[in-house]
Structure 1
Amino acid sequence: MSVARNTLVQSSLTLASRVLGMVRDILLVATIGAGPVGDAWATAQQFPNLFRRIFAEGAFASAFVPTYARTLEAEGPEAARAVAQEAMRVLFAATAALTILAQIFMPWVLLLIHGGQADDPEHYNLAVLLTRVTMPYLTFMALAALLSGVLNSSERFILSAGVPTLLNLCLIPAALISDDPVTTAKAASIAYFIAGVLQAGALWWGVSRQKVHLSLLGLPRLTPAVKKVMMLALPGTFAASGTQINIIVSQSLASFEVGAKSWLYAADRLYQLPLGLVGVAVGVAILPRLSRAARALDDDSSRATMDEGIGLAMALTLPAAASLLIAPVFLIDAFFARGEFTTFDALQSGNALFHFAWGVPAFVLIKVLAPAFFAREDTKTPMRYALVSVFINTVLGAGLFFWMKANGMQGFVGLAIATSVAAWVNVTLLWTTLVRRDWYRPGPKLASGVIRALLATAAMAAVVLYLLRILPSVETHLYGSKALSAGVIVLAGGVTYAVAALITGAVRISDIRRTMRR
């Protein structure tokens, strides 16, 4: 199955999940709003969202898949099943222990990421309660990660890409339970717990259908195979989660500005769309092919896969990044400004979204470049670069945050700037290392494809800018609805890009036909 088709499967199901996720967030933000309760809710989501993105969206799987696939190919299904089962038992025991410790020490743990509001006991204690309820999601996502890795090794992507939808299906009813922000936040936290159980259960069923029968019963054992998996998985997981750790650092600093966490959360909902739809999907789709090419010492196949993956990622990411750069406040205002989330909140969130937007291509490229290292079982190099990224984000973010506040500006905007700068540094380090080691050198087809995608993006940007210029007229024809107007403008931009991409050759009909035949 081709990279494009695998990506299409991942992206289509992820798109369905993200659409439901937008509905979920619009409902939750409207009820909870931006303020101390909203900040407490954003804090409670940090752990489950971090581990969902690390585990469920492929980072742990990126470290696990090469070892599992190598064992499957060299020693057969039973040996691979044994590796998966032992690794799962160790992973479950470790994450369960971490969850229990977090429950006990949560009031002190949150001082690290919510310390700026520790002088507000009522809402700080609310954040502690909500995070205690959502924390077990970590254990379920650890199981889901390993089970997804088993499925992805066999190029079975549908179920692993589809299960995140269950989280949204649980959270949407929770958002409708009450008009009270605190009650809604509590209900949503419980929904996270329920969703974790359902997601892990669905993947367990999927793996069983592949005739891979695993069991949690039995003591965890650090066998040589498990040690190898963990040695690869731990740094690999950290390496692939550098962006998410940078978000945690930013949110921690944002706790010193009431409302900032809520504003960053709304911005995060939009700029994470291309990362989930494109970056994660392409990264997951190319890893099995890169692993096979690495085992066969097939450099030509490896480079062709990377060219295809990066080209596809940029063709789908550049128009999204341009849209977020052109109309950040308009998009936040159209989708989130209702109920307790005001137009002022939309303005603040849009200011952050603008600076996240120019980092979007870097966020996506990290997800596409890191698998080239994982496929060769080198997880330490991306981990070191992720650490550099976190260091830059922490130092630059803190410096900008307090400098901007001291000069009468909103400090949280500096956090968005630092996150994007750190991501581009990470990309630069990954790219130059791949070239220096001769693991990847981009071909002329990739350069040509990116230039064509940029031309198509410019055409799309012109159309969007024109529609924004005549926005009052657009809204008049759409019953004064900001949300409908935003939907129409986004659709018009998407159609324009699709047509321009075909005209410029950024996307070719022959490539689409070949993909569908495959």
Structure 2
Amino acid sequence: MSLARNTLVQATLTLGSRILGFARDLVLSARFGQGPMMDAFTTALMLPNMFRRLFAEGAFAQAFVPIYGGVRARDGDEAAAVTASEALSFMFAVVAGFCILLQIAMPWIMPLLLSAWKDDSGVMFAATTAAQLTMPYLACMTIASLLSGVLNTSGRFALSAGVPVFLNLCTLVPLLAPSLIPMSQPTTLLAVSAAVTVSGVIQAGLLWWGVRRLGIRLNLSWPRLTAGVARTLKLAIPGVLAGGALQLNSVVSQLLTGSNEGARSVLYNADRLYQLPLGLVGVAIGLALVPRLTRAFVSGDHEGGRRTLDDGITLSMAFTLPAAVALFVIPFFIIDATVTRGAFTSLDAARTADVLRQFAWGVPAFVLAKVLTPPFFAREDTRRPMIFAVISVVVTVALGSGLFFWFSRSGVDGVLGLAIATSVSAWINVALLGGTLIREDVWAPSARFVGRFSRVLAASAVMAAVLIPASLFYSDLSRILFAKEIAVIAVVGAGALVYGVCIVLFRAVSVSELKATLKREPGASAPTGLD
């Protein structure tokens, strides 16, 4: 498949999952508002997600894909399956043991993470139990991540992009249940937390089935530190250290917001919205880039690698910039129109919108980092991304903590400081990654790239000019169109239409390129039932 087509498959399926995820968050906010149960759920979900990014979807997964792809290219599918089985057995054993330790220690960890409610025994019990229920999700995602790497290396992207929808489907069931069966907020919290782990089992099971459908036989066995596992760990350790630094940043943010009632809920809602373009575009392109760049560098096709990176950056920004503009220009419009209902008030929406605006200008950097990191991993260079990540984390922790306390003392929401620091550090990380690739002549912006990127910027500016009046007349539009939900759909739709027209008129993307997106590269295999 072409890079654009792979990305299209990833983004389309991820979009379905994100839409359901947004629906889940709407019900969560309506059910819990920004009260103690919402803080408890975001904490319970944060723990497995944080370590999942570190272990499952982080450095180990990114180190495994090039090694698996290299063994497959040199020694064939059978040797690659042995390598994958050894890595799977080792990582699953390590992560499962880690999950059990965290579950045992949770009664002592939770009062530190949720210090604003530490004197409320009911909230502490519910939060601790919820976290213990969600932790097995991490072990399931370890299996799922490695299986996704096997599928993606084989050119199969649909299943790995589609299974995350089960997290949202499973958690929606207990959230909607109180509409039929009366349930207290703590009971609903525990049911949703258990559903998180159920979804992990389903995802891992479906991916296992998908790998077997390809004829690849993987086995879970007693973990052994084989040569293949040791090599993967050697490549992964710098990334783990970098990921650990990133998660340290997350821990600091959690400790700071845990001392402020409702702050963690604000951070969660803002994070979910700005992560939407990152999940749709950054992750999709990153997954599509790694196998393709690996093939290019293994075969010595450096020019092909440059073209792939050129296309990846242009394509990612064409999708990301309009999303970032909308989140920056009309954040309150979006949040109040969609989320405000039930226990979630317009005051909650205003607080969340202020934080979201500070995340929005960092969104392009978050996506660019996803695109600029694969060239390092494709060349088995994990050390320098680690160094750059550590630098950006130091900036985030130092600047974020300073701004949080300064803003709080000044009567300003301290969460704003965390959002500002996150965006600043993201751009620093991009500057370090991109600067290194340019300096080493791994990638150099071509004249064609500069021209197309400039036209994408111009189209985004025109879209912003359309959205700004809408943000000023939000109440009037809601009244004229009879409902705020209709108003936000109309405004976002108009902005997307204007942007799409400008993209074509400015020739940032031509009709022939749109057609090429759907074409398969020469020699690509025919799709299977998985795709």
- Normalised-by-shorter TM-score class: over 0.9
Following TM superposition, by how much is the alpha carbon of 1:126 offset from its aligned partner in structure 2, in angstroms? 2.1
Partner of 1:435: 438
1:204 correspondence with 2:190: no
Give the whole-Å Cα distance in 2 for the aligned partners of 1:56 and 1:486.
Answer: 37
Work out whether residues 240 and 382 of structure 1, in 8 Å CA contact, stay in contact via their aligned partners in 2.
no
Work out whether residues 26 and 336 of structure 1, in 8 Å CA contact, stay in contact via their aligned partners in 2.
yes
Give the whole-Å Cα distance in 1 for the aligned partners of 2:296 and 2:129.
Answer: 48
Partner of 2:113: 113
1:148-297 equivalences under 5 Å are 148-178=148-178, 180-216=184-220, 218-236=221-239, 239=242, 246-297=249-300
Give the whole-Å Cα distance in 1 for the aligned partners of 2:437 and 2:418.
Answer: 29
Give the whole-Å Cα distance in 1 for the aligned partners of 2:48 and 2:513.
Answer: 38
Deviation per CA, 1:131-189, whole angstroms, max 9, x where unpaired? Answer: 11101110000000100000010110000000000111101112112263222211110
Following TM superposition, by how much is the alpha carbon of 1:408 offset from its aligned partner in structure 2, in angstroms? 1.5
Query: For residues 79 and 235 of structure 1, do their structure 2 counterparts lie closer, same or farther at Cα, with a shift above 3 Å needed?
Result: same
Work out whether residues 321 and 358 of structure 1, in 8 Å CA contact, stay in contact via their aligned partners in 2.
yes
Give the whole-Å Cα distance in 2 for the aligned partners of 1:492 and 1:132.
Answer: 45
Secondary structure of 2:114's aligned partner: helix
Number of residue pairs matched by the alignment: 516
Unaligned runs of 5+ in 1: none
Q: Which amino acid in structure 2 is aligned with residue 366 of structure 1?
A: A
Give the whole-Å Cα distance in 2 for the aligned partners of 1:8 and 1:240.
Answer: 28
Work out whether residues 28 and 184 of structure 1, in 8 Å CA contact, stay in contact via their aligned partners in 2.
no
Work out whether residues 32 and 185 of structure 1, in 8 Å CA contact, stay in contact via their aligned partners in 2.
no
Following TM superposition, by how much is the alpha carbon of 1:338 offset from its aligned partner in structure 2, in angstroms? 0.8
Give the whole-Å Cα distance in 2 for the aligned partners of 1:278 and 1:60.
Answer: 21
Partner of 1:448: 451
1:3-152 equivalences under 5 Å are 3-51=3-51, 53=53, 60-152=60-152
Deviation per CA, 1:66-120, whole angstroms, max 9, x where unpaired? Answer: 0000000001111100000000000110000000100111123335533454343
Query: For residues 160 and 302 of structure 1, do their structure 2 counterparts lie closer, same or farther at Cα, with a shift above 3 Å needed?
Result: same
Following TM superposition, by how much is the alpha carbon of 1:436 offset from its aligned partner in structure 2, in angstroms? 2.2
TM-score, with structure 2 as normaliser: 0.93
1:505 correspondence with 2:507: yes
Following TM superposition, by how much is the alpha carbon of 1:246 offset from its aligned partner in structure 2, in angstroms? 3.6
Farther-moved stretch of structure 1 (267-276 vs 381-390): 381-390
Partner of 1:484: 486
Work out whether residues 285 and 316 of structure 2, in 8 Å CA contact, stay in contact via their aligned partners in 1.
yes
Partner of 1:358: 361
Give the whole-Å Cα distance in 2 for the aligned partners of 1:75 and 1:508.
Answer: 41
Partner of 1:415: 418
Q: Which amino acid in structure 2 is aligned with residue 215 of structure 1?
A: N
Work out whether residues 59 and 237 of structure 2, in 8 Å CA contact, stay in contact via their aligned partners in 1.
no
Q: Which amino acid in structure 2 is aligned with residue 378 of structure 1?
A: D
Work out whether residues 32 and 182 of structure 1, in 8 Å CA contact, stay in contact via their aligned partners in 2.
no
Query: For residues 439 and 358 of structure 1, do their structure 2 counterparts lie closer, same or farther at Cα, with a shift above 3 Å needed?
Result: same
Q: Which amino acid in structure 2 is aligned with residue 357 of structure 1?
A: A
Deviation per CA, 1:21-77, whole angstroms, max 9, x where unpaired? Answer: 111110111101102221111101102333555577676432211000000000111
Farther-moved stretch of structure 1 (2-11 vs 508-517): 508-517
Query: For residues 482 and 49 of structure 1, do their structure 2 counterparts lie closer, same or farther at Cα, with a shift above 3 Å needed?
Result: farther
Partner of 2:523: none
Give the whole-Å Cα distance in 2 for the aligned partners of 1:491 and 1:60.
Answer: 40
Give the whole-Å Cα distance in 2 for the aligned partners of 1:274 and 1:187.
Answer: 29
Following TM superposition, by how much is the alpha carbon of 1:240 offset from its aligned partner in structure 2, in angstroms? 6.4
Give the whole-Å Cα distance in 1 for the aligned partners of 2:119 and 2:383.
Answer: 40
Deviation per CA, 1:291-326, whole angstroms, max 9, x where unpaired? Answer: 011111211011101000001111111100000110
Give the whole-Å Cα distance in 2 for the aligned partners of 1:51 and 1:199.
Answer: 17
Structure 1 runs (4+) deviating above 4 angstroms are 51-60, 237-245
Work out whether residues 246 and 390 of structure 2, in 8 Å CA contact, stay in contact via their aligned partners in 1.
no
Give the whole-Å Cα distance in 2 for the aligned partners of 1:52 and 1:487.
Answer: 34
Secondary structure of 1:199's aligned partner: helix
Farther-moved stretch of structure 1 (449-458 vs 103-112): 103-112
Give the whole-Å Cα distance in 2 for the aligned partners of 1:327 and 1:174.
Answer: 32
Partner of 1:344: 347
CA RMSD across the alignment: 1.8
Query: For residues 495 and 247 of structure 1, do their structure 2 counterparts lie closer, same or farther at Cα, with a shift above 3 Å needed?
Result: farther
Following TM superposition, by how much is the alpha carbon of 1:122 offset from its aligned partner in structure 2, in angstroms? 2.8
Farther-moved stretch of structure 1 (190-199 vs 393-402): 393-402
Q: Which amino acid in structure 1 is aligned with residue 407 of structure 2?
A: M
Give the whole-Å Cα distance in 2 for the aligned partners of 1:296 and 1:187.
Answer: 51
Q: Which amino acid in structure 2 is aligned with residue 456 of structure 1?
A: A
Query: For residues 197 and 265 of structure 1, do their structure 2 counterparts lie closer, same or farther at Cα, with a shift above 3 Å needed?
Result: same
Work out whether residues 95 and 139 of structure 1, in 8 Å CA contact, stay in contact via their aligned partners in 2.
yes
Farther-moved stretch of structure 1 (19-28 vs 125-134): 125-134
TM-score, with structure 1 as normaliser: 0.96
Following TM superposition, by how much is the alpha carbon of 1:234 offset from its aligned partner in structure 2, in angstroms? 4.0
2:375 aligned residue (372, 385, 390): 372
Following TM superposition, by how much is the alpha carbon of 1:458 offset from its aligned partner in structure 2, in angstroms? 1.1
Farther-moved stretch of structure 1 (124-133 vs 464-473): 464-473
Query: For residues 108 and 434 of structure 1, do their structure 2 counterparts lie closer, same or farther at Cα, with a shift above 3 Å needed?
Result: farther
Following TM superposition, by how much is the alpha carbon of 1:261 offset from its aligned partner in structure 2, in angstroms? 0.4
Farther-moved stretch of structure 1 (140-149 vs 27-36): 27-36
Unaligned runs of 5+ in 2: 521-531
